[in-house]
Structure 1
Amino acid sequence: MELKRILVLCGGKFAFPSLQTLGVEKFLCGIGIGKGEKGILSILDQESKNSGLPYMSFPTKESLSHLRNWIDEIQPDYIFSISFPFLLSEEVLSYGEDKFINFHPGPLPEYRGPMPLFEVLRYQEKETAVSVHFMSEEFDDGAIILKETLPISKNETYGELAIKLSSRTAMVALNIAQMLQYASTIPRTAQDENKARYFEKPEAIDTFIQWNRMPADEIIALINACNPWNQGADAILFGRSVKLLAATLSDELHSELPGKVLQLTQSGSIAVSCIDQKVIHIQIVAGDFGILAAERFIKTTSIPEYILN
């Protein structure tokens, strides 16, 4: 039996495990990338030359005008979208009904949008999902084929979760390819619009720690959600604009105003008061000075003497 030919539209290295898995299993018939860093483009370009697979880059929305013709040339049986950054037009989708399948790295319909990893961490969810659905002219819309959940570990960062989801997406992509190959029918469940939420790409206000409003666990969740894509959560510390990359919750309580640096601990972390009377310990700080351990950051600024005691 001839295998289904699958063209993958992707957005970067998140899709690499899926590309490799589908390639090894002989389902992959072409790769298209939207935007993408120069290094990633070079890697995919070289791999396509080595393997003989069709490859095309779509750096802008305008460049998508070539997508339908390219698909017509390749004639894939299905098109998988894995972190592809652009919305597909009606012209492109008209290539075939139920031919376009998206792999969304978050629960649908609750976490629609371009960065569900950030949102599930910021809102302290205990689990996330790879949601596979047929594509429509709306972002993250269309009937769901399957939703595979996986747990979020305590203090897991954006980077750690991305790696875990990338590996799981590869397994799910292979499962879907095999389902398309051998199953007589493909499951489809309409998304519940009553549960739907769409999150735009985070802006500066979304990554900023507001000491006088945010409790300790919310601050730590935001720090983890911003590491590494935003180089940490934005904050003001010692009157300086910095980014916080790692912090933990302490057992101690305080009676100070929120956002006050209490001390440099024996372990070398910076203890800071929060609005719920809890204390967080900051371990890594970033800024114009670089990425530093908290104790070393202390040495780069003028610190009140009592903090060092």
Structure 2
Amino acid sequence: MKIILLSGSIYAIPSLHFLAGQNMIEAVVSVGDVNKYNMQLEQTSKHINIPFVRLNKDQLLTDFKTLLLETSPDLVLVFGLGCKVPSELFTIPKKGFYNVHFSLLPAYRGHSPVFWQLKNGETTGGVTIHKINEKFDDGPILAQKTVTIFPGDSYGIFSARLGIESTMLIGNAMMELNTQGEVFLTEQDKEKITYAPAPSLGDLKIHWETQTAKEIECLVNAGNPDYGGAVALLRGQPIHILEVNMALLNNPNPGGVAPGTIVHSDPNYGVFVACKNSEYLRLNVLQSHEGILSGFKLAGMGVMPGEKFDTVPETADFTTI
């Protein structure tokens, strides 16, 4: 089977290696400006001698269409594209376009399925390969695989594992499609659709008064690294919190303190913050305007018990963070 990989995702690299090893890849096409993700995809493609083409969105109906007509691929595999494939291209590859999506569709359709699965505290996620139609993440399913979300998994860690898990799923799915055709395709259950849009700043804010320690930990993990972690204010300045863990204190304040209040801070043990329901979080990794900091370094910089993290105000935007 001849495949063109249409991708801008670093998480497609394991599958690129796998398909190249099977002599199935004709070319890799990336849409959009150079960034840290598609640049690594380009470097990998060149390293293993796979043609790499970089286009902008407007060239899908011109240069990309010409490439499809010239190479006559059996299939185009989309893996982290970020824009809609024009429907007039669907019939050019013999078997059409198939998309790799990081959720068990029809759950978590949309731009950021991994973020919302982690933020919502899901214990399982997965990978779906489905045929592309005119709607985002709507086409019939060719193959799925459930993948466990382990405690402490961040966006980057879980996505990397999904990228690895995708390789054999893609290999098996391509073999079945090549030998059996579309007999394995199943329509998505419309009653089970949920959505996963790109998170806004409001989705990344820590709401100390209403979120539990576990919910804050899930939010922090969901935002690390692609969205810069969860966001709060300390001394009026924005802080990105990238890693935390729930903690038990030997001598918690018996009278209780307001959620978001630092209850312990020293260079040997780090910084501990009170949450609702008398729970506590230890802050392990943060980022401020001064750089990426450990909780130990934050304590060493003079952050004291009694100081308080606040919620970012509604008027803030990403340019101030």
| Structure 1 and Structure 2 fold alike (TM over 0.5) | yes
Matched, 1:197 2:194: yes
* Structure-2 separation of matches of 1:281 and 1:206: 21
Matched, 1:88 2:89: no
Shift of 1:51: 5.9
Map 1:55-74 to 2 at 5 A. 55-59=52-56, 61-66=57-62, 67-74=64-71
Matched, 1:280 2:281: yes
* 1:274 alignment partner AA: C
* 1:121 paired residue among 118, 123, 131: 118
Q: Is the 8 A contact 1:209 1:235 kept in 2?
A: yes
Map 1:69-218 to 2 at 5 A. 69-95=66-92, 98-183=95-180, 185-218=182-215
* Structure-1 separation of matches of 2:307 and 2:212: 25
Q: Residue 96 and residue 44 in structure 1: after superposition, are their counterparts in 2 closer, same or farther (change >3 A)?
A: closer
Shift of 1:142: 0.6
* 1:264 alignment partner AA: S
Q: CA RMSD in A?
A: 2.4
Q: Is the 8 A contact 1:12 1:37 kept in 2?
A: no
Q: Alignment partner of 1:130: what SS?
A: strand
Q: Residue 278 and residue 19 in structure 1: after superposition, are their counterparts in 2 closer, same or farther (change >3 A)?
A: same
Q: Alignment partner of 1:163: what SS?
A: helix
Shift of 1:265: 5.9
Q: Deviations over 1:141-190 (max 9, x none)?
A: 11111210010111111111111011111221111222223335531111
Q: Is the 8 A contact 1:98 1:134 kept in 2?
A: no
Unaligned runs of 5+ in 2: 309-321
Q: Residue 257 and residue 114 in structure 1: after superposition, are their counterparts in 2 closer, same or farther (change >3 A)?
A: same
TM-score (norm 1): 0.89
Partner of 1:295: 296
TM-score (norm 2): 0.86
* Structure-1 separation of matches of 2:259 and 2:54: 48
Q: Alignment partner of 2:121: what SS?
A: coil
Shift of 1:249: 0.9
* Structure-1 separation of matches of 2:42 and 2:226: 25
Partner of 2:272: 271
Shift of 1:239: 3.6
Q: Is the 8 A contact 1:263 1:306 kept in 2?
A: no
- Identity between Structure 1 and Structure 2 (%): 26
Q: Alignment partner of 1:197: what SS?
A: coil
Unaligned runs of 5+ in 1: none
Shift of 1:98: 4.8
* Structure 1 stretch displaced more, 41-50 or 167-176: 41-50
Shift of 1:214: 0.9
Shift of 1:299: 3.2
Q: Alignment partner of 2:248: what SS?
A: strand
* Structure 1 stretch displaced more, 164-173 or 297-306: 297-306
Q: What is the aligned residue count?
A: 303
